[in-house]
Amino acid sequence: MDKKHPFCRKERELKFIFFVGVPYNIGMKKFTFLLLSTFCVVTSAFSLCVREISNAEMPVSGTETTFHVVVDAGHGGMDGGVTGKTSGVKESDLNLSIAYRLKDELEDAGFLVTMTRKTEFGICEAGETWSKKRDMQQRKKQIRESNPSLVVSIHQNRYSLPSVRGGQVFYKKGSDSGKSLAVQVQERLNRLYQKEDVNPRNATPSSYYLLECTDAPSIIVECGFLSSPADEGLLLKNGFQEELALSIFSGIMGYYSEIYGS
Ligand SMILES: [Zn+2]
């Protein structure tokens, strides 16, 4: 698992331009040129970006509330989840890799992060034999004990048709805050997959167990379809995993911006 960031601090801040629809992976020279040639547009973009950043960095210290995000890497151990048709990659491994990338993004922005699963193994108490039921109960227990601001569970999808592709976000049925968060993340995933000519999807209500663990907004992010060789090829790439993590992070920031922004 490569946890190294591809961005230096300065470039990481520039990536927030993503929020206003300008590609975020531009270098400093190109950015300077853009800044000079489209001053007005970029100035307004920066004001939006700064608001996004300040919202994210708001929760850091002292008596202020700290935003606590639970990042749940789905499956693990004996439960590998979906398997990639072409490479045989296990969903559980991809989930963990993307979850760690998301954790890094969130922590860099000042969020407190709890990972339900930190290793390739499933979750169970010391001395207990692993079972899917106990694994899920442990995740629920961790989520409840964390008293999180929000929960993001990372998964990979599958479907009978290999042509079906893209990211899909689920939220708890009846949860307005869950829906707001899901819509923000779904929008970023659609943008990411649009580059691959994949049709956009809508955030979808669901009653998955993991969405029911807390009243805090909770989403399941299906990052792509392992039943699609095209998606599988992308999901195996470090660069794409990083883009996925950034898209989810950006969606979380968009959600907080919607709540606290003017
Ligand atoms: Zn899964």
The CATH number of whichever domain residue 169 belongs to comes to 3.40.630.40
Question: Within a domain: residue 136?
Answer: yes
Residue of 240, 254, 245 whose CA lies nearest to 182: 254
CA quadruple 253, 254, 260, 262: dihedral, nearest 10: 140
Taking the centre of ligand 1 as the mean of its atom positions, its distance from the CA of residue 61, in whole angstroms, is: 35
How far apart CA 9 and CA 5 sit, in angstroms, is 10
Alpha carbon of 79 to ligand 1 centroid (Å): 9
pLDDT at 168: 98
Q: Provide the pLDDT for residue 10.
A: 31
Alpha carbon distances (Å) from 28 to 14, 34, 75, 227, 249: 9, 10, 40, 38, 22
C-alpha 14 to ligand 1 mean position (Å): 32
Domain that residue 254 falls in: 64-260
Per-residue pLDDT, averaged over 212-228, amounts to 97
33-42, 102-111, 123-132: segment of lowest average pLDDT: 33-42
Distance 134 CA to ligand 1 centre (A): 16
Residue 18 lies in a domain: no
* CA gap 249, 244 in Å, rounded: 8
| pLDDT at residue 2, rounded to an integer | 38
Q: Is residue 52 part of a domain?
A: no
d(CA 57, CA 50): 10
The answer as to whether 245 is a domain residue is yes
Range list of H helices, the chain = 9-14, 28-37, 39-57, 91-108, 132-146, 176-194, 229-235, 238-260
Mean of the per-residue pLDDT values of the chain: 81
User: What is the Cα–Cα distance from 88 to 38, expressed in whole angstroms?
Assistant: 47
User: For position 124, what pLDDT does the model report?
Assistant: 85
In a domain, 30, yes or no: no
Please say whether the beta carbons of 98 and 223 come within 8 A: yes
> What separation in Å is there between the alpha carbon of 95 and the centre of ligand 1?
8
What is the distance in A from the centroid of ligand 1 to the CA of 72?
Answer: 11
**Ligand 1: centre distance to CA 188 (Å):** 20
**Confidence band (pLDDT; 50, 70, 90) for 40?**
very low
pLDDT of 240 above 50: yes
pLDDT at 127: 81
Is a pLDDT exceeding 90 seen at residue 63? Answer: no
CA dist., res. 115 & res. 98, Å (int): 12
- Residue 4: inside a domain: no
**CA 31–ligand 1 middle distance (angstroms):** 38
| Alpha-carbon distances, residue 88 vs 40, 55, 101, 226 (angstroms) | 49, 40, 22, 9
Output the CA 91–ligand 1 centroid distance in Å: 7
How many distinct structural domains can be found in the chain?
A: 1
Q: Does residue 15 form part of some domain?
A: no
Q: How many angstroms separate the alpha carbon of residue 81 from the centre of ligand 1?
A: 5
User: Which pLDDT value is given to residue 192?
Assistant: 98
Is 96 a domain residue? yes
pLDDT of residue 126: 80
Average pLDDT over residues 7-30: 34
**Cα(154)–Cα(97) distance, integer angstroms:** 10
Q: How do residues 144-178 score in pLDDT, each as one tens digit?
A: 999 999 999 999 999 999 999 999 999 999 999 99
Q: How confident is the model at residue 256 (pLDDT cuts 50, 70, 90)?
A: very high
